[in-house]
Amino acid sequence: MIGSEEILDALKNVGLNLYERKVYVALIAKGVATAGEVSEIAKVPRSRSYDVLESLADKGFVVAQSSKPIKYVALAPKDALERAKDSLHKRHITTIERMDRMLNSPVMNELENIYSQGFSLVQPADIAGTLKGSFAINQQLKSLIKNAKESVNIVTNSEGLAELYTKHLKVLKNAKKAGVRIRILAPETNTKHTTALTSVAEIKKLSVPLGRALTVDGKHFMLALTDNTKVHHTQDVAFWAGSEHVANGILQHSFERLWESQ
């Protein structure tokens, strides 16, 4: 195999799949080669080498020569990464611009109507899911707070309180401006995080840590299934559901009792 495992792992981290990594390293070693020659050196199926080389060319790692048969030239690694960064940046900007246009287009209203009509037919048990990783959990948390109409009730730990400040302060401020009542129960109330959060939420100190939970409008809830102080952020797990029976019943009742007892 050409190239060490460290090289292949590094190329994986910048977005190249297994065949792309093998083909690029093989082409670096060869300099200039046809698809057939590259497939032989890289031990990649010949039928796939054409697609892989075209993909690498699109990403900025190789250049196709206008010859018969077509030959491919590997760009110097530093140049390839710079070109790949530029290409990725341009695609990123283009995609965001398209999303912004879509958000303000009649198509979005049509999609929202379809969504509303579809969810009116969905059983409560189907509006649920497991979220793995702090990124996914925080994205769902942000979405729930953003769409809150009346209330957001949060039970959290010290790490969760810090994340409310660093990742969700803006959306909490917007919810507060929209008239949403926000209440937070946490094991500490005298940190720089709570000082900032008191401008958007009522905060009370928990006598004992109770983990992390959230209810929104008595319709949605989220429960952490892991202790984020003891697992890697990619292994943090939470359960979310749109169940009024649970959110407005068991959890809301428990939150109110906790809130009054603190």
**What are the angstrom distances between the C-alpha of 150 and each of 74, 115, 172, 206, 257?**
58, 22, 13, 23, 19
> How crowded is residue 262: how many other Cβ atoms within 10 Å of its Cβ?
11
Task: Write out the E strands in 160-236.
Answer: 181-186, 202-205, 213-216, 220-224
- Mean of the pLDDT values across residues 73-86? 86
- Average confidence (pLDDT) over 71-97: 88
Listing DSSP states for 66-104 in one string gives S-SS-EEEEPPHHHHHHHHHHHHHHHHHHHHHHHHHHHT
Q: pLDDT at residue 5 above 90? A: no
Report the length, in residues, of the chain.
262
Which residue in this structure is represented by tokens 């690029």?
24
Residue 122 has pLDDT above 60, yes or no: no
CA distance 190 to 146: 26
Structure tokens at 162: 């810090």
Rounded CA-CA distance 151/183 in Å is 8
Q: Average of pLDDT values for 53-62?
A: 88
11-46: pLDDT as tens digits: 888 888 899 988 888 888 888 888 888 888 888 888
Measured between alpha carbons, how far is 199 from 245 in angstroms, rounded to an integer?
Answer: 31
d(CA 214, CA 156): 8
CA 201, CA 184: separation in Å to the nearest integer? 7
Annotated domain spans of the chain = 5-77, 128-261
Residue 168: CB partners within 8 Å, gap ≥ 6? 138, 141, 142, 145
Cα-to-chain-centroid distance, residue 178: 26
Q: Which two tokens stand for residue 211?
A: 């983990």
**Where does the pLDDT of residue 121 fall: very low under 50, low under 70, confident under 90, or very high at 90 and above?**
low
Q: Read off the pLDDT band of 2 (50, 70, 90).
A: low
Measured on CA atoms in the order 59, 65, 67, 71, is the torsion positive or negative?
negative
What is the architecture of the domain spanning 128-261?
Answer: 2-Layer Sandwich (3.30)
Q: Round to whole Å and give the CA distance between 168 and 170.
A: 6
What percentage of the chain carries pLDDT values higher than 70? 95
Which band of pLDDT confidence, cut at 50, 70 and 90, is reported for residue 99? very high
State yes or no: pLDDT of 254 exceeds 80: yes
Q: Which residue has the higher pLDDT, 194 or 132?
A: 132
Q: Please report the pLDDT score of residue 75 as a whole number.
A: 86
Mean pLDDT of the chain: 86
- CA proximity to 84, closest of 65, 103, 56: 56
Angle in degrees, CA 89, 15, 17, rounded to 5: 145
Contact 131, 238 (CB under 8 A): yes
CATH architecture of 5-77: Orthogonal Bundle (1.10)
